[in-house]
Structure 1
Amino acid sequence: MSGTTTAGTQRSAGATRHVPGLPAAGNRWVVLGVLCLSLLVVALDATILHIAVPAVTEDLRPGGMELLWIVDAYPLVCASLLILFGTLGDRVGRRRILLIGYGLFGVASALAAFADTPHILIAARALLGVGGAMIMPATLSILRQVFPDRRERAVAIGLWTAVAAVGAATGPVLGGFLVQHFWWGSVFLINIPLMALILPVGRWLLPESRGGGQGPWDVLGALMAAAGVLGVVLGVKRAGGGADILDGRTLVPLLVGSALLILFVRRQKLRKHPLIDVRMFARPAFSTAVGCIVLAMLALVGLELVAVQYIQLVLGLSPVETGLRLLPLTFAAMAAGATGSYTLRRVGPRAMVSLGFTLTAGAVLVLTLMGQHDRPWLLTIGFILLGFGLQTTLFGSYESMLSEAPAEHAGGAAAIGETSYQLGAGIGIALLGSVMNAAYAPGLAAVPGVPSRDSSAAAHSLGEAYQVASQLGGPAGDALRSAARHSFVHGLHVTLFVSAGLLLLGALAALRLPRLMECGAREPDIADAADQAPPAQVPACREHAERAGSGRAVV
C-alpha cells in the first residue's frame, strides 16, 4: 500500500482518509463523545420519571388518564416524530436539527421541573419528545457521516449503543436518588446544565452534513409517517396496559396507524424524491437488521418490566435496590459495546447477531430457575448474560443497518432504526405483558376462603392482589397473598419461556445477515488494504474487494 496521506491523516493500512468538511482523525472521537452525551440525556429521560410517579401523583393529584399521559407523552411523541426529523435533517442539515433539539430539550426540561399542574407537565413531556426526536436520529446519522470507515464506525456504534443501554438502565437508579433527596422536579432539572454545556460545544465542534436528496421535502409524507407511527405505538401501548385489543380506543389507532404507514410506503415508492428510499428494505441485510432490532427490544423491555415487578413485589426490594439489582445488566451491556467492534471483525454480522440472540435466550432460561426467594447470584448471572447478549445483538444489528444504508439517506435510516427500537419496546410490553397476565390470572380463580369478587380484582395484577389481601386480612388474606405470589412466579416462568422462543427465532432470522464484515467500502485501494490488514480483518476485506471488482455495490 502506498504511503500517501491527505489532510494530515496518516495511519496504517485500512485507514480512512480525511474527508473535506469532516473532523480530522483525532476530533472524530471528540465528536463521538458529544453525540454519546446527547444520547445519554435522551435515554435517561425515557425511564427516569418512572421512579418519580408516586411523588408526582402526591403533589399534582393527576387523574388516571392524566397520569397515563404524563408517563407516555414523551415516548409517544418521540417515536412518532423520528422519521419526520430524521429525514428533515437529511435535507436542511443534521447538525442544525440536533442543535434545535438541544434547545427544545432544555426549555422543556425547565418547564417540566417547575410544572404546577398535570396539563403543564404533559405539555412539557410532549415537548421533550419533540426534542428527543430531533436528537436521536441526528446523533446516529452524524456518526455515520463522521466515521466513513466501517471498522472505526463499528467502534463508534459500539460506544453509542452502550451509552443508550446505560442511560435507559440507570434512569430508575438516578431518579430514585434524586426523588429521595430532592423533589420530583429534579429528575428534569438535571438536563438543563447538560444542555447548556452541549449546545455551545456542539455548535462549535459538530460538522454540518446533508443527504443527497433533491427536490421539495415531502411534508404530507412526513405527517403521514408521524400520524401512522403514533397510531400504532398508541394502540400497542394501550394493549400492553391491559386494554382489550377489540376496544375502539385500542383497535382504531392500530388500524388507522397501520393504514397510514401502508399509504406512506406506497407514496414513497411513487415519488421522484422520496423521504425514505424504501428500496433499502429490499436489501436482506437492512431489513433483517431492522427486524432484529425490533425482536431484541421486544425481549429487553418486556423482560425488564416483568423483572422489576418480580424484584419489587416478590422479593420485596425498594425501587433504589431494584435499580441496583439491574446494574449488572448495564455493565454487561457496556462491555459488549466496548468489545463489539473486535467481535464483529472476528466473526462477522451473521454469527455475532445470531450468537447474541442465543446467549440472551440462555440467560432467560437461567432466570427461570428463580423462585419466590431471593437468589442474588443467580439473578446477577442471568442479568449479566442478558445484558451482554442483547447488547451484542443490538450492536451487530445497528452496525449492519447503518452500513447497508447509503450515506445520503443516513438520517432516514437512523430514524427507521430508532422507530424500530421504540416499536419493539412497545410490542414487548404489550405481548409479554399479555402472556404474563394470561398465565397469572387462572391461579386466582378459586382461592379457598376468598370471595369471587376479591379473586377477580386480585387477578388484575400482583400489586392489586396485595391490596385486596391487606383489606381481607386473616387467613383469607394470607391465602390470597400466597396464591398470588405462586401465580406470579408461574406467570414469570411462562413469560420467560415465550421470550426464549422469540429470541431463538431472532437467532434464525439473523442467518440472513452477511457472513463477513465488508470493510473499507469507499477506499480506492481496498485490495491493498486487505493485503496489509491484521489477520482477523483479511477475510472480510478480501471478500469486499472481490465483490467490488465484480461491480456489486456494497456500503
Structure 2
Amino acid sequence: MSTTTVGRAGAREWGGLAVLSLPTVLLGLDVTVLYLTLPSLAEDLRPSGTQELWIMDAYGFLIAGFLLTMGTLGDRIGRRRLLMIGAAAFGIVSVLAAYATSADMLIAARAALGVAGATLMPSTLALISNMFADQRQRSLAIGVWATSFALGMALGPVVGGAMLNHFWWGSVFLLAVPVALVLLVAAPLLIPEYAAPQRGRFDLISVTLSLAAILPVVYAVKRFAKDGPDLPMIAAALIGVVFAVVFVRRQGKLESPLLDVRLFADRTFSSALSVLLVGLVGVGGSMLLITQQLQFVEGLPPVEAGLWMGPPALLMFLAAIGSPLVARRVPPGLVVAATLALSTVGYVLLALVGPSGGIALMVVGFGLVYLGLGAIAALGTDLVVGAAPAEKAGSASAMSETVQELGLALGVAILGSLATAVYRSEIDGRIPSGTPSDVADSAGDSLAGAVASAERMPDGWLDLAKEAATSGMNTAMIVAAACTVVLSVLSAVVLRHVGAIGDEPEAAPAEPVTSRV
C-alpha cells in the first residue's frame, strides 16, 4: 500500500475516466431502452397499470435506497473493488431480466438491478473526485461523466430499437453484459484503488434504518398512484418519516456515520442537492410520457421512436459538457437558472402537443427539457462533490446520486400517476356497454391496455383513448412547467454565493489519498 498526494491529473487519470464512463453509459442506456420496450413488453407480459409503474421505477427507488449504504461501503472496502463487484452483479441480473416470464419476475429483476446499480454510481463519481483534485479538471471530468449518461440515453433508443426490430424485448437487457466485461478487464489497469484513511465501523443498524425510512415512502407513493390518498398510504408515509428522523439523529451521534449530516450545513451542498432533486422530477415523468406518446399515440415502431429521441439526448450531451466551460466565466447558479428557464419553455411546448401530428413539437420541447437536465446534472453534481472533503467523497457522491435517482423515480410515479388519473377520468363512462369485463378493465386502466385490447373494441374507440392519454400528458407537463420556472428563480437565488469555477484556488485535500494500485 502506498500513500500519495493527488496533484493535477495525467494520462492515466483521463484513461481511467473513460473506463469509469462505461457503467454510466450503461445506466443511461438502461433508462431509454426500457421505455422503448414497454409496448412489446406489455403485449407479452400483460402488466397492469400499477405493475407498469413498478417496472419503470422499482430500479430507481432501489438505487435511491441503497446508494448511501454502497457509498459508505466503497469507502471502507475500496471504491474500485465495489465498482467491479457491482459491474459483475449488474451483468448477471441483466440476464435474469432479459428472460423474465412474468411482470412480477421482471419487477423483481429490476429491483435487483437497482441494488447492483447502487454499487456503480457512487463508486464512479467518488473515484473521479479523488483522481481529479484540480477544481477545473474535476468540473470538466464530471461534465464528461454526465455526458456519458446522455450518450447512453442517446444510444439506447437507436440501438435498443434496432434490437427490438430483430429480437424479443428482453434482448435489450443483454447490452449490459459486454459493458460489464470490458469494465472488469480495464478497471484494474487504469483506475487506482481508493479507501478512506480512517474507515471506521460499518453500522448495519444505520443501513436498516435508512431502508426503513425509504421503503415505506416507496409504498406510500405507489399506493397513492393506484388508489389515491387513504389510511394505509398515510400510515406508510408517516412510518417512513419517523424512521428518517431516527436515522438522522443516529448519524449525528456516530464517529463514522453512514451519512455525515454535517455536510448539509454547507449551503452549496444542500442547495445543489435541492436543485437536483426537484429538477429531475419533471425529467423522469416527461421521459415516460413522451416515449409512450411516440409509440402508443403516434404509432411509431421502436426504431423510429428511438431515432426521434436521439436529438434531445444529444442536446443534453452538449449542455453537460458545455455548462462547466461556461461556468468558468459565469456563476453556476446563473447557468443553471438560464437552462432551467429554457426547460420551462420545453414543458410548455409539450403541454401543447395534440393527439396527432405532434412529433416535431415533442422533439423540440423535449430537447429544451434535456438542456436543463444536462446543466444541472453536471454543475449540480460538481457543486455537491466539491463541497465535501476528499475523505467524504463517497458519502457526498452517494447523496448526489440518491437525490437524482429519487427525483427521476418520483417523476415517473407522480407525473405518470397524474397523467393516468386524467386518462381514467376522461375514459370513464365511454367504454361501450357489452364490452367483456377483462377488456374493459384493461382499456380503462391505461393507454397500453387500450392498445393491447384494440382488436376487441369498436372502431374509433382507440382514437378516444389516445385523446385521453394526450390530455393526461398535457396536464402533467403544465405541472412540470410551473415547478421548473419556480426552480429556475430559486436556483439563481440559493446559488448566488457560488462564484465562477476556478475563481479562487482550491485548498489542498485535508488528508492524503490512500491508493492501492
TM-score, normalized by length of structure 1? Answer: 0.80
Give the alignment partner of residue 129 of structure 2, picking from 126, 136, 144: 144
Alpha carbons of structure 1 residues 314 and 358: separation in structure 2 relative to 1, 3 Å: same
Tell me the amino acid that sits aligned with residue 198 of structure 1. L
Tell me the amino acid that sits aligned with residue 513 of structure 1. L
Question: Aligned partners of 2:156 and 2:238: how far apart in 1?
Answer: 33
Alpha carbons of structure 1 residues 445 and 59: separation in structure 2 relative to 1, 3 Å: closer
Alpha carbons of structure 1 residues 469 and 63: separation in structure 2 relative to 1, 3 Å: closer
Q: Does 1:489 align with 2:470?
A: yes
Question: Aligned partners of 1:128 and 1:369: how far apart in 2?
Answer: 36
Q: Does 1:222 align with 2:207?
A: yes
Which residue of the partner structure matches residue 510 of structure 2?
Answer: none
Tell me the amino acid that sits aligned with residue 218 of structure 2. V
Following superposition, the deviation at residue 518 of structure 1 comes to 5.8
Q: Does 1:175 align with 2:160?
A: yes
Contact persistence 1:76–1:234 (CA under 8 A): no
Alpha carbons of structure 1 residues 393 and 76: separation in structure 2 relative to 1, 3 Å: closer
Aligned residue for 1:84, secondary structure, equals helix
Following superposition, the deviation at residue 152 of structure 1 comes to 0.9
Contact persistence 2:327–2:501 (CA under 8 A): no
| Mean Cα deviation higher: 425-434 or 64-73 | 64-73
Which residue of the partner structure matches residue 76 of structure 2?
Answer: 91
Which residue of the partner structure matches residue 156 of structure 1?
Answer: 141
Which residue of the partner structure matches residue 13 of structure 1?
Answer: none
Q: 1:140-193 CA deviation, whole Å, 9 max, x = no partner?
A: 011111111111111111111121233245434433322332344432333222
Question: Aligned partners of 2:325 and 2:49: how far apart in 1?
Answer: 48
Which residue of the partner structure matches residue 230 of structure 2?
Answer: 246
Alpha carbons of structure 1 residues 29 and 345: separation in structure 2 relative to 1, 3 Å: same
Tell me the amino acid that sits aligned with residue 182 of structure 1. F
Alpha carbons of structure 1 residues 85 and 340: separation in structure 2 relative to 1, 3 Å: same
Q: Does 1:320 align with 2:308?
A: no
Question: Aligned partners of 1:353 and 1:493: how far apart in 2?
Answer: 25
Q: Summarize the alignment of residues 86-485 of structure 1 with structure 2, pairs less than 5 Å apart.
A: 86-113=71-98, 124-240=109-225, 242-246=226-230, 248=232, 250-445=233-428, 447=430, 460-465=445-450, 471-473=456-458, 478=460, 480-485=461-466
Contact persistence 1:343–1:352 (CA under 8 A): yes
Contact persistence 1:149–1:519 (CA under 8 A): no
Which residue of the partner structure matches residue 501 of structure 1?
Answer: 482
Alpha carbons of structure 1 residues 86 and 247: separation in structure 2 relative to 1, 3 Å: same
Give the alignment partner of residue 494 of structure 2, picking from 499, 512, 516: 512
Question: Aligned partners of 1:60 and 1:462: how far apart in 2?
Answer: 15
Tell me the amino acid that sits aligned with residue 496 of structure 1. M
Contact persistence 1:445–1:456 (CA under 8 A): no
How many equivalent pairs are there?
A: 502
| Mean Cα deviation higher: 507-516 or 460-469 | 460-469
Tell me the amino acid that sits aligned with residue 264 of structure 1. F
Following superposition, the deviation at residue 441 of structure 1 comes to 4.1
Aligned residue for 1:190, secondary structure, equals helix
Relative contact order, higher structure (CA 8 A, sep 6+): 2
Contact persistence 1:349–1:396 (CA under 8 A): yes
Question: Aligned partners of 1:199 and 1:263: how far apart in 2?
Answer: 38
Alpha carbons of structure 1 residues 397 and 47: separation in structure 2 relative to 1, 3 Å: same
Tell me the amino acid that sits aligned with residue 485 of structure 2. L
Following superposition, the deviation at residue 301 of structure 1 comes to 1.1
Following superposition, the deviation at residue 459 of structure 1 comes to 5.0
TM-score, normalized by length of structure 2? Answer: 0.86
Q: 1:216-259 CA deviation, whole Å, 9 max, x = no partner?
A: 2222112221332233234324534x3433263x5554333332
Q: Summarize the alignment of residues 56-95 of structure 1 with structure 2, pairs less than 5 Å apart.
A: 74-95=59-80
Alpha carbons of structure 1 residues 375 and 405: separation in structure 2 relative to 1, 3 Å: same
Question: Aligned partners of 1:67 and 1:311: how far apart in 2?
Answer: 17
Alpha carbons of structure 1 residues 73 and 427: separation in structure 2 relative to 1, 3 Å: closer
Following superposition, the deviation at residue 59 of structure 1 comes to 6.9
Aligned residue for 1:347, secondary structure, equals coil
Structure with greater Cα Rg? 1
Alpha carbons of structure 1 residues 377 and 66: separation in structure 2 relative to 1, 3 Å: closer
Percentage identity across paired residues of the two chains: 35
Alpha carbons of structure 1 residues 450 and 347: separation in structure 2 relative to 1, 3 Å: farther
Following superposition, the deviation at residue 461 of structure 1 comes to 2.9
| Mean Cα deviation higher: 457-466 or 143-152 | 457-466
Q: 1:90-128 CA deviation, whole Å, 9 max, x = no partner?
A: 222211211221222233334444567878766654443
Q: 1:493-528 CA deviation, whole Å, 9 max, x = no partner?
A: 3222211110012112212114443655xxxxxxxx
Contact persistence 2:276–2:404 (CA under 8 A): yes
Following superposition, the deviation at residue 132 of structure 1 comes to 1.2
Alpha carbons of structure 1 residues 298 and 74: separation in structure 2 relative to 1, 3 Å: closer
Which residue of the partner structure matches residue 7 of structure 1?
Answer: none
Give unmatched runs, 5+ long, in structure 1.
1-17, 521-539, 549-555
Which residue of the partner structure matches residue 9 of structure 1?
Answer: none
Tell me the amino acid that sits aligned with residue 188 of structure 2. R
Give unmatched runs, 5+ long, in structure 2.
508-517
Q: 1:359-379 CA deviation, whole Å, 9 max, x = no partner?
A: 100111123332233144333
Contact persistence 1:166–1:330 (CA under 8 A): yes
Question: Aligned partners of 1:334 and 1:296: how far apart in 2?
Answer: 17
Tell me the amino acid that sits aligned with residue 506 of structure 1. L
Question: Aligned partners of 2:250 and 2:325: how far apart in 1?
Answer: 41
- Please, what is the CA RMSD of the aligned residues? 3.4
Question: Aligned partners of 1:227 and 1:98: how far apart in 2?
Answer: 25
Contact persistence 1:398–1:417 (CA under 8 A): yes
Tell me the amino acid that sits aligned with residue 325 of structure 1. W
Question: Aligned partners of 1:151 and 1:118: how far apart in 2?
Answer: 46
Alpha carbons of structure 1 residues 198 and 467: separation in structure 2 relative to 1, 3 Å: closer
Alpha carbons of structure 1 residues 449 and 275: separation in structure 2 relative to 1, 3 Å: closer
Question: Aligned partners of 1:382 and 1:68: how far apart in 2?
Answer: 24
Alpha carbons of structure 1 residues 126 and 92: separation in structure 2 relative to 1, 3 Å: same
Question: Aligned partners of 2:414 and 2:48: how far apart in 1?
Answer: 26
Following superposition, the deviation at residue 337 of structure 1 comes to 1.5
Alpha carbons of structure 1 residues 234 and 423: separation in structure 2 relative to 1, 3 Å: farther
Question: Aligned partners of 2:104 and 2:39: how far apart in 1?
Answer: 17
Contact persistence 1:235–1:254 (CA under 8 A): yes
Alpha carbons of structure 1 residues 243 and 156: separation in structure 2 relative to 1, 3 Å: farther
